[in-house]
Amino acid sequence: MNYQQEYAAAKNDPQAFWKEKAAALEWFAPPQEILSLNEYGIHHWFADGEMNTAYMALDYHVDNGRAEQAALIYDSPVTGKKRSYSYRQLRDEVALCAGMLKGLGVVKGDRVIVYMPMIPQAVIAMLACARLGAVHSVVFGGFAAPELAIRIDDATPRVILSASCGIEVNRCVEYKPLLDRAIELATHTPDYSVVYQRQRKQADMSQPRDIDWKQAMESARPAGCTPVMGSDPLYILYTSGTTGKPKGVVRENGGHAVAMKYSMKAIYDINPGEVFWAASDVGWVVGHSYIVYAPLLHGCTTILYEGKPVMTPDAGAFWRVIEEYRVKALFTAPTAFRAIRKEDPDAELAGKYDLSSLQTLFSAGERLDPSTFEWLGEHFKVPVIDHWWQTETGWAIVANMVGIEPMPLKAGSATVPCPGYDVQILDEQGEQASADQQGNIVIKLPLPPGCLTTIWGDVARYKAGYLEAYPGFYLSGDGGYVDRDGYLFIMGRVDDVINVAGHRLSTGEMEEIIGKHEAVAECAVIGRDDALKGQMPVGFVVLKNGFKGNDEEIGKALIQLMREEIGAVASFKELYIVARLPKTRSGKLLRRTMRQIFNGEEYTVPSTIDDPGSLNEITTLIE
Ligand code: COA
Ligand code: AMP
């Protein structure tokens, strides 16, 4: 089938299409209900299928000829360690870890938070939860204690799995004090924290809540796979919205497994037995889908890389990994390519390695800017594929499906909708935009398998945030247009979410944090374009009348506050104290105009502006 036929097949008879795709997996009892509505009137897939995701991803392969094949390769330039786990070894470790969790009282449906660096135990922890039918929620290691606390209170985990530290190039990030602080801040208290002690820094443990991972594993007995229904949740992954409270995206087992398995061949052109590398972090959706689940469900070898594209030790690190493990496809965010390009503009380091195994480079997480796209095309003689997706969908909405039929590339476009996604552009009135006309990118319901079915504990928020703006459609939050050839161009978020080094952050949340400081009368945070990280947050603060303090000191304190509240990952380094903020007469902040000024874009002063002089102050800041 070519792309058009495949897309049409999914559109014309979605149930037949996805039923066939589901048959590629080993179910305990295959689903009879392919697409149905849940109790809240939301579509979901394979609800009555009986299965276990960890069984499909590990045991099935052990029993079907892949027992000795490498499942997971851990490569850690920051510690100098490398280790390969065969499917059998990984399955056995996961079964033991599941047994350990079971021993701590974890049962099907319980939540388990995983707050870990990029070590094999993080992957083992996720799969162990899946094996028990428990729901994991991985929290990115770059988040500070208050962010972890918010997630603890929302997910109410029975157990938290963590490690003593993470290593950022050569800086040691101690996780345990952050974890302890988060538990202190949270209202909910987990029964246990299980901590994997790393050589670099051992954590102080306190009884009876803290448990040593290695000791607990030694006394654990392997647990079997607990059957779950296709509609049972596999995980919750928090992502930034427009407010201070992150959204817990819920992913169900059945649709997820089917979408993951399908995407490996159709989108990435990967066959079972081949080596696939997503250079991301297990704390992000790319890590969930393409470091852990999809490659394993497809019987591939996946790579867990604990390092950076540069500095560990140099800009040749990615190419070294590709040569060493014969990687067929690399998937990362444009910011990583930009970091490499900055250090090695002529790709001389790449020339030192044998990259003959590499067939395709995939990019997502942020827009692949034409200049980076062209640089990659010039130096690496393989297709460079941009594809667009979100935490909410779990897999690509729009891509160039090289495993079905490669389409001609267009710089700046993520190409065409994947089968199952009916992508449309609507204007503010809900009318369909014509070709090349920009608008809100929406997806006609039902969403295909793998996409979120709710926000954890808050179905009303899911409906209000995604389904109510345009009835019958899912609102993506991105703006863009479709050209005459049906190619989609993403122009960026239409809300207050920004994208920093491929990390999704909320300027609304940053404003809430700054706004809580006693010296602050009001504030605004916008995203400014950045040559390396895509966007960087910039803060503007009006101090309270009569506040006696030094502007520079207050600025530094607010920057430090953001690091303590959100974490280093916020990359919040630029802040201005101003006399007033530009607003409309009704008091609405003119963030868009401020952003345009800061990014050197053309702008028109809105006729509703309250005080035109307020914009002059912003303009002078960049001169
Ligand atoms: N644990 C603790 N701290 C972390 C962390 C983690 N897992 N990940 C990042 N941080 C810290 C960094 O050390 C840095 O701290 P600093 O301000 O003290 O320097 C801060 O958070 C910002 O991190 P980052 O934005 O990643 O910047 P960087 O300068 O460390 O690295 C790149 C820049 C481009 C090399 C890096 O962002 C990168 O490799 N990106 C790849 C893209 C990616 O993985 N995207 C995920 C979605 S696909
Ligand atoms: P996240 O949920 O963290 O994966 O972030 C999703 C958001 O990242 C999307 O809503 C987009 O704004 C942006 N994004 C992801 N992939 C792309 C892409 N290929 N092109 C442009 N923007 C992207």
pLDDT at 167: 98
Compute the average pLDDT of residues 2-16: 98
Q: What ranges in 38-174 are assigned the alpha helix state H?
A: 53-54, 60-61, 87-103, 120-132, 145-155
Protein residue with its CA nearest to atom 20 in ligand 2: 367
d(CA 300, CA 57): 10
The CA-based angle 583-587-591, given to 5 degrees, is: 40
Atom of ligand 2 nearest to the CA of 284: 3
Binding site membership of 59 for ligand 2 (Cβ less than 6 Å)? no
Residues 217, 96 contacting (CB under 8 angstroms): yes
Residue 294, pLDDT score = 99
Query: What is the rounded average pLDDT of the residues 339-360?
Result: 98
Indicate if the pLDDT at residue 612 is higher than 80. Answer: yes
Residues with Cβ within 8 Å of 484's Cβ and at least 6 positions away in sequence, in order, are 435, 436
Please tell me which residue, 321 or 622, carries the higher pLDDT value.
321
**Better-predicted residue by pLDDT, 619 or 224:** 224
- For residue 311, give the H/E element and its range: none
Q: In this prediction, what percent of the chain has a pLDDT beyond 70?
A: 100
Asked if residue 308 has its Cβ within 6 Å of ligand 2, the reply is: no
Q: Is 364 in the pocket of ligand 2 (CB under 6 A)?
A: yes
Task: Please choose from 285, 305, 330, 571 the residue to mutate so as to test ligand 1's pocket, defined by most ligand atoms within 8 A of CB.
Answer: 571
- Asked if 21 and 1 count as a contact pair (C-beta separation under 8 A), the reply is no
Position in ligand 2 atom list of the atom nearest CA 490: 21
pLDDT of residue 171: 96
Sorted by where each starts, the structural domains of the chain and their CATH numbers stand as: 87-226 (3.40.50.980), 497-620 (3.30.300.30)
CB atoms inside a 10 Å sphere around CB 283: 24
Rounded Cα distance between 267 and 447, Å, is 18
Is pLDDT above 80 for 165?
yes
Ligand sitting nearest the alpha carbon of 278: 1
Cα of first residue to Cα of last residue in the chain, in angstroms, is 56
Q: Which two tokens stand for residue 501?
A: 């080094």
Question: Read out DSSP for 444-491?
Answer: ESSP-TTS--EETT-HHHHIIIIISSSTTEEEEEEEEEE-TTS-EEEE
Rounded to whole angstroms, the Cα distance separating 561 from 513 reads 8
CA 256, chain centre distance (Å): 15
pLDDT confidence band for 615 (50 / 70 / 90): confident
| Amino acid sitting at position 354 | D
Alpha-carbon separation of residue 596 from 507, 527, 609, 622 (angstroms): 16, 10, 15, 12
Regarding the beta carbon of 282 and ligand 1, being less than 6 Å apart is answered no
Is residue 623 scored above 90 in pLDDT? no
CA distance 117 to 232: 27
Nearest residue CA, atom 13 of ligand 2? 366
- Which helix (H) or strand (E) segment holds residue 494: the answer is none
> Ligand 1 within 6 A of 365 CB?
yes
pLDDT attached to residue 547: 84
Distance, in Å, from the CA atom of 257 to the CA atom of 259, rounded to the nearest integer, reads: 6
Read off the pLDDT of each residue in 78-93 and give the average, rounded to a whole number. Answer: 98
Task: Quote the CA–CA distance of 201 and 206 in Å, as a whole number.
Answer: 16
Q: Which residues pair with 252 in a beta bridge?
A: 233
- pLDDT reported for residue 83: 98
How high is the pLDDT of residue 622? 79
How far is 455 from 21, CA to CA, in rounded Å? 26
Do the Cβ atoms of 63 and 80 come closer than 8 Å? no
Query: Which ligand 2 atom minimizes the distance to the CA of 386?
Result: 19
Check pocket membership of 288 for ligand 2, CB cut-off 6 A.
no
| Nearest residue (CA) to ligand 2, atom 6 | 390
Q: Tell me, what amino acid is at 365?
A: G
SS3 content of the chain, % helix, strand, coil (to 5): 35, 25, 40
Res 69 pLDDT > 80 = yes
Q: Using one digit for the tens of pLDDT, what is the confidence trace for 247-291? A: 999 999 999 999 999 999 999 999 999 999 999 999 999 999 999
Is residue 311 within 6 Å of ligand 1 at its C-beta?
no
Q: Which pLDDT belongs to residue 539?
A: 97
* Nearest alpha carbon, ligand 2 atom 3: 504
Cβ of 274 closer than 6 Å to ligand 2, yes or no, is no
Ligand 2 touching residue 151 (CB < 6 A)? no
Per-residue CA distances from 147 to 139, 162, 272, 287, 562 (Å): 9, 15, 38, 19, 11
Average pLDDT, the chain: 96
Q: Does residue 554 sit in helix, strand or coil?
A: helix
- Mean pLDDT of the region 63-90: 98
CB atoms within 10 A of CB 359: 17
Q: What is the pLDDT of residue 614?
A: 87
340 has pLDDT over 90: yes
d(CA 394, CA 453): 11
Could you say which ligand is closest to the alpha carbon of residue 306?
A: 1
Q: Is-contact 510 539, C-beta < 8 A?
A: yes
DSSP per residue, 82-118: EEEEEHHHHHHHHHHHHHHHHHTT--TT-EEEEE--S
pLDDT at residue 207 in the model: 82
pLDDT digits (tens, 9 = 90+) for 422-480: 999 999 899 999 999 999 999 999 999 999 999 999 999 999 999 999 999 999 999 99
Ligand nearest to the CA of 175: 1
Say yes or no: CB of residue 277 within 6 Å of ligand 1: no
Ligand number, closest to the Cα atom of 415: 2
Q: Residue for token digits 């003593």?
A: 164
CA distance 102 to 621: 57
Question: What average pLDDT does range 595-612 have in this prediction?
Answer: 88
Other CB atoms within a 10 A radius of the CB of residue 391 amount to: 19
Q: From the CB of 499, is ligand 2 less than 6 Å away? A: yes
390 Cβ inside 6 Å of ligand 2 = yes
Best residue among 164, 289, 308 to mutate for probing ligand 1's pocket (most ligand atoms within 8 Å of CB) is 308
Strands (E), 515-593: 520-530, 534-543, 574-577
Q: How far apart are CA 331 and CA 162, in angstroms?
A: 26
Confidence band, pLDDT 50/70/90 cuts, at residue 546? confident
Q: How confident is the model at residue 399 (pLDDT cuts 50, 70, 90)?
A: very high
- Return the DSSP state at 29: B
Q: What is the mean pLDDT of residues 41-54?
A: 98
Residue 311 alpha carbon, nearest atom of ligand 1: 35
Q: Summarize pLDDT for 178-227 with one digit per residue, the tens.
A: 999 999 999 999 999 999 999 999 999 998 899 999 999 999 999 999 99
Q: In the prediction, which pLDDT does 603 show?
A: 87
The ligand with the least distance to the CA atom of 489 is: 2
Nearest alpha carbon, ligand 2 atom 23: 366
Q: Give the C-alpha separation, 148 to 127, whole Å.
A: 21
User: Cα 551 to chain center, whole Å?
Assistant: 36
Which residue has a Cα nearest atom 10 of ligand 1?
Answer: 142
Q: How far is the CA of 9 from the centre of ligand 2 (A)?
A: 27
**Ligand 2: distance of its center to the CA of 482 in Å?**
17
The alpha carbon of 569 and the centre of ligand 1 are apart by a number of angstroms equal to 6
